[in-house]
Amino acid sequence: MAGAKQTRATTPAKLTAYRAKRDPKKTPEPMGATKKSVTKTKSKLPTFVIQEHHARALHWDFRLERDGVLVSWALPKGLPMDPATNHLAVHVEDHPFDYGKFEGTIPKGEYGAGQVTIWDHGTYDTIKWRPNEVMVVLHGTRASGKYVLFPTNDKNWMIHRMDPPPEKIDEMPEHVRPMLALAGELPKKDAGWAYEFKWDGVRALVYVDAGRVRAFTRNDKSLMSTFPELRDIGLHLGSRSAILDGEIVALDKENRPSFSTLTKRLHVISKTEIEKLKRSIPASFFAFDVLYLEGHSLMSRPYDERRAALESLKLNGESFATPPSITNTAGSKVLDISRERGLEGVVIKRRASPYLPGSRAGDWIKVKNFFTQEVVIGGWTEGKGERDGSLGALLLGIPNDGGLDYVGKVGTGFSAATRKELLGELKPLARKSTPFSAPLSRAETTLAHFVRPSLVGEVRFAEWTPDGNLRQPSWRGLRTDKGPKEVVRES
């Protein structure tokens, strides 16, 4: 392909498979020129294009100009940037040369239906081109360097980067322990602090890599089957890899974040029921931090830098959002706003602080509008009267070195369905001896059914009594996202 001017003749035979799968009356995709009508004047080198394709499964289409057509592979995980990792490349039919400029929507019901955008384009040098080996050097904006493609069978190939990574790449961690907030008060001075609203949901770390999403609770339980709408984040980010920290939130009838409403989705395992609940109780992921982005760990960076990186992702969709970070308003006013809106409170974050996994060091402080306490269930009592044979109250504790400190019992805040569900969870955990460090009163011991202290719940309460018990507790729900060792007494 030498010379300043070249024409690319589309060979009809090479596009037979392509055209057989597409109806030009139904799809805007180019069908290919039928004669020598496409002229190249800018470069002596052949071109390449990588298109991001939001079809049934997100993937990237890698296309190399060759003999008048675009020889094409589908890359489910995109172009590898690290030579230590090969990516699958599915060899597909040749595409017409003018497909290299195509962006648009392939209609539903058509082959490859979905949105197509150009991820990168440029020119390339050919090092080798054989039936079982294609080696090229890409000259693009986002994609550059030497790559080789080789088949593993008739259809599936692999693509390997032969050059070192374009820059130092940090490996994405498999799991990160979330940074935690201490219960406290508003700082005396607002300078150096950022204020975020506290959302009444479930903490989640979301890992996105080439559109694929994993999400886990604080105690590393997967959330993907429970909240399949989290996959929308991967579609939004496309090729960008990221670890996001945030909260999964559901709204009550007053459009306020409600943990009690969210609990209706936490224990469901039926796919059919989950699909129904997606419509009746939609959940959203509220992202408030980014720990890893595009091959680089951000955890050592200050809050302000991480926040700027998070906002650059424009995470605002039907099932995900980026709530505000407030730095130009007095903390007392932000707390008042949260109270007026019926929110749980605020979280105050030191703007110069790094992200400290698993730490509760005081760089993050939570200030609540009402008191809540995570508790470990140590037993239960039977109901009386109309609740005879059902759950009456839960016996609650907070872990200490030798077992559980008894902090009282809760008998309100349960629906009939919740009482039934809790009994189903508690009965298999039955034990004869008390899990509490100090003996209960004789009356409570006589009525109690003790259980292995493995379930964590949350209550709302008025205050701590002088003897360390919860005054007027009301049940909010099980915390399946947390383990007993994570429960601490809130100040």
198 noted as active-site residue: yes
- 437, 439, 441: which is closest to 453 by C-alpha? 437
Residue 354's SS3 state is coil
> Which residue matches tokens 């005081």?
362
d(CA 198, CA 183): 12
d(CA 374, CA 77): 40
d(CA 191, CA 111): 56
What's the Rg (C-alpha) of the chain?
Answer: 29
- 218, 267, 281: which is closest to 245 by C-alpha? 218
Residue 359's SS3 state is coil
d(CA 31, CA 216): 45
Given a contact cutoff of 8 angstroms between Cβ atoms, the answer to whether 60 and 69 are in contact is no
d(CA 206, CA 246): 8
User: What burial letters (b/e) apply to 410-433, b meaning 16+ CB within 10 Å?
Assistant: bbeebeeebbebbeeebeebeeee
Say which of 40, 77, 198, 482 is annotated catalytic. 198
DSSP assignments along 374-434, one per residue: EEEEEEEEEB-GGGBTSEEEEEEEEEETTEEEEEEEE-SS--HHHHHHHHHHHGGGB-SS-
User: Rounded to whole angstroms, what are the CA distances from 256 to 61, 86, 212, 283, 355?
Assistant: 42, 46, 30, 12, 28
Q: Among the residues of 294-400, which ranges form H helices? A: 303-312, 331-340
Q: Among the residues of 281-330, which ranges form H helices? A: 303-312
Given a contact cutoff of 8 angstroms between Cβ atoms, the answer to whether 222 and 164 are in contact is no
Structure-block tokens of residue 106: 């392939």
State the amino acid at position 302 in one-letter form: P
What residues contact 374, with CB distance under 8 A and at least 6 apart? 456, 457, 458, 479, 482, 486, 487, 488, 490
Torsion of CA 264, 203, 482, 177, to 10 degrees: 160
Catalytically active residues are 198
